[in-house]
Structure 1
Amino acid sequence: MRSILILISLMIGFQVASAQSVKEKISNDATGGQGQIDEKRYTWGYFLGLNSYDYKFDYNEVTDDIFVETSMGFNVGLIGDLKINNYINLRLEPGISFVTRTLNFEDPSFTMPGDFEREVTSTYINVPLLVKFSTKRLNNWKPFIVGGASWSRNLSSNEENPNDNSANQFRQVTNVFNYELGFGIDFYLYYFKFTPSIRGVFAINDELVRDVDPNSPYTGNISSMQSRGIFLNFTFQ
């Protein structure tokens, strides 16, 4: 909440300073002459983007941290936008994300090179419900912050797989609940509105499916495992 208040304060200060220093320019309507896009109650679009996912681990006992190697992933999805007023919009942004993470473990019992590493590939269907708070439009651009909650379904979770890490299978839960926070800028072009944005995605529930062996060197000492991701999205409306 403190971060949101700081962002809002910065945006308001930036808007006041910009309004005093920026000269009025010709305003694009982002619809090719078919009326202002911000006057419409419902608008639609799509997004493309990149992601980088990590894990946050909590442990039962103090031990060496599990090292996570992250890789760049890909996002794609649709946007449905409901205008509440000139400064607040409600958005539904269903999409799919392709994610790869590599976990590196340290344990004295490991003897084979493959024991130290687990590659975790995830395909998330992500459905966020977000509230977008915008400033007043400044010529042909408008900053905003966005936040909300989301549900993700991990199609590659292996949750129902009877094999565990003893058979080289790292398992996660299928359903993940998250909160999301981000910021971006709407740019009004002649035919459409283009929006680059950065958003953090933080899992709320524990995602780890533990091995059958309660003393497993892979899962035995983990009290919780939660995803953390950063999205860089490019939206077209």
Structure 2
Amino acid sequence: MKKLILLLAFGLLAQSIQAQLFSRERLSNLETFDNRFLTWGYFLGFNNYDFKIEYNDERGRELTDVIVEPSTGFNVGLIGDMRINNYINLRLEPGLYFTQRNLRFPGFTEEQDILREVKSTYIHIPLLVKFSTKRLNNWKPFIVGGVSTSLNLSSKENNPEDNEEGQFRTTRYTNYYELGVGIDFYLYFFKFTPSIRGVFAMSDELVPDDNPNSPYTGNLNSINSRGVFINFTFQ
């Protein structure tokens, strides 16, 4: 039922966009919107996080290759946009991101030993520069890039228990760089923006087990988050 409601909602929104943006009348909506120095809004969206894993001994990787199983999570947040000129904007997009990744380790027979669930609740704060084209009727493509930092509220960095007790630990803070594309659609009463963005961690998130020869982290040099965000913005 929820999926049906979402499909109907997106269908009605798409129909409204088509009617307003591509009708023969080609009326300009929100003509002075981009002249504002500061604008505000919010976003809803989805994420898909993964881990990039580097090993200490690549020759023995086939014996310790960890399988990462990503899943789709949910995003919600706010937007503050500052106009630099007609084509460049500076954006701050603090948000709350919920996600989970499952790690499956080789060399074990019991599921409780093989599987480690890495649940994450991020307070994610990106500072982005948006480069737009000239507005075309009621839509305007753009590219965006910048840096970000996140606080993982679900981190177990300071947990004294490690994988021996079933706890896979990651760091609390992570830094990233981000790149993406999107399109601004100018509707009658608000600006609607779908976008897709790649996010890549610049800092190692691995907290090694206390045992240096741990079968879980002994051959891991680093793990770095990487993800895809699909956001729908309303301003």
Coarse TM-score class (shorter-chain normalised): 0.7 to 0.9
Question: What's the CA shift string for 1:92-124, capped at 9, x where partnerless?
Answer: 0000100111001112xx242211110110000
| Match of residue 49, structure 2, among 29, 50, 53 | 53
- Counterpart of 2:145? 147
- Trace 1:1-237 onto structure 2 (pairs within 5 A): 25-29=26-30, 36-62=32-58, 63-64=61-62, 65-107=65-107, 110-237=108-235
How far is 1:167 from its partner? Answer: 0.2
The AA in structure 1 aligned to 2:206 is L
% identical aligned pairs = 66
Counterparts of 2:48 and 2:66, CA distance in 1: 17
Counterparts of 1:200 and 1:44, CA distance in 2: 23
Counterparts of 1:155 and 1:217, CA distance in 2: 26
Aligned-partner SS, 1:28: coil
Question: What's the CA shift string for 1:33-52, capped at 9, x where partnerless?
Answer: xx621010000000000000
Aligned-partner SS, 2:218: coil
How far is 1:26 from its partner? Answer: 1.4
- Long gaps (5+) in structure 1: 1-22, 30-34
The AA in structure 1 aligned to 2:39 is T
How far is 1:24 from its partner? Answer: 8.2
Aligned-partner SS, 1:211: coil
Aligned-partner SS, 2:208: coil
- Counterpart of 1:20? none
Measured on the aligned residues, the alpha-carbon RMSD in Å equals 1.3
Contact 1:125 1:152 in 2 (8 A): yes
- Long gaps (5+) in structure 2: 1-23
Counterparts of 1:61 and 1:89, CA distance in 2: 45
Contact 1:157 1:171 in 2 (8 A): yes
Question: What's the CA shift string for 1:5-37, capped at 9, x where partnerless?
Answer: xxxxxxxxxxxxxxxxxx8821111xxxxx621
